[in-house]
Amino acid sequence: MTIDCTVKKTDPGRFEMFAGGGLAAVVIFSVGVFMSVVPVIGWIVGPGLMITAGLIAIGHVVGIFRAKPSYTGHCPNCGAPAAAGDPGSVGMCEACHSGFAHHDNQLWKLEA
């Protein structure tokens, strides 16, 4: 039995793209709106948080918070699907708990 250990690049989905800076901007802006109700200190902190949320949203649109692509493949020891890190990294299979390395678009067994 031959195990295909080729690594494939997977791009993040819409939820992952939104979760970066878009979700953070919405939450921070909402907190800023609620802080604006609190007298004196809220009148200072609230607008500051809303401005910060706007900057985060702009940064998200520009691409600062874009998620990096991830890599997936099959464990070279047992053949189970495995999440591989960036090229040159070392990982561990969740199914058989054996180590592997990501080199040359392949997952390679680690020698003990």
Q: Which pTM value belongs to this model?
A: 0.53
Beta strand 8-10 with 70-74 is antiparallel
Span 10-66, pLDDT tens digits: 776 666 666 667 888 899 999 999 999 999 999 999 999 999 999 988 887 777 656
| Alpha-carbon span 3 to 98, nearest angstrom | 15
